[in-house]
Amino acid sequence: MNNNELYIFDLDETLLNGDSAMLWHQFLVKEGFILNASFLEEDKRLMKLYSEGKLNMQQYLNFCIAPLTNIPVIKIEKLVKKFVENDITPRIFPQARQLINQLQGQGKEIIIISATVNFLVSEIAKHLNIKHHLAIDLETNNNFYSAQIKGVASYQNGKVIRLKAWLKNQINQYQTLHFYTDSINDLSLCEFADIVNVVNPCAMLASKARQNNWQHLSWIGD
């Protein structure tokens, strides 16, 4: 079947009622892998910069990967499965599930593009039965994650760069790109896409949506 439409979704605060990285850090504190009492406060400070479109991604990764550098990749994978099952699954917006199920039933192609690390995004995509995803890939050293980004970070304009590279490798030539996001960080991808839907957008993106007549969706968690 030749399908010329591609549906692109941001993950955090778009499909998910919350931020998967922040929730992951809370999970690691709860499980005893992060003992620094000020870690979550610093995480909030950095995520505020993210929400303003001002976050330095490499500095953020240096911070949030530091507690994981002594945990083997295989153990992190097991922790992520538990995390997604317990902490992410209940937070997927019902409207997001309904839309994804509808699109999958119609045979539409779907991809998640996220500025979150790949080991989280891949497991969440698997849970949603979404075959394609682009996320921040990390270098590994002897089966331990480092904070070093592999290739281009799927963050801000990096999402467009990664998507263009992905599109070049697809047999199908998509004519219409639909994009769903909540974040001003995704403005470049909004401008690259053909049809934009802003989901519970931040104030800055809501303003851009009004200027460009992008559809505004209000999704509510359970």
3-state DSSP assignment of residue 200: coil
Instruction: Report CA 153 to chain centroid distance, whole Å.
Output: 12
Question: What pLDDT is recorded for position 46?
Answer: 97
- Cβ(30)–Cβ(67) under 8 Å? no
Q: What angle do CA 99, 156, 178 make, to 5 degrees?
A: 30
Containing 92, the helix (H) or strand (E) segment is none
**Topology classification of domain 5-217:** Rossmann fold (3.40.50)
Q: Whose CA is closest to 31, among 23, 19, 42? A: 23
pLDDT by residue for the chain (222 residues), tens only, comes to 457 999 999 999 999 999 999 999 999 999 999 999 899 999 999 999 999 999 999 999 999 999 999 999 999 999 999 999 999 999 999 999 999 999 999 999 999 999 999 999 999 999 999 999 999 999 999 999 999 999 999 999 999 999 999 999 999 899 999 999 999 999 999 999 999 999 999 999 999 999 999 999 999 987
Q: Which amino acid is at 30?
A: K
Structure confidence at residue 1 (pLDDT): 45
Q: What's this model's pTM, rounded to 2 decimal places?
A: 0.96
Side-chain half-sphere of 129: how many Cα atoms within 13 Å?
12
pLDDT of residue 112: 99
Strand partners, 111: 8, 132
Domain ranges of the chain: 5-217
Mark out the alpha helices in the chain (DSSP H runs): 20-30, 39-51, 57-65, 73-83, 94-105, 118-127, 157-168, 187-192, 203-212
Q: Determine the pLDDT at residue 222.
A: 73
Instruction: State whether residue 203 is helix, strand or coil.
Output: helix
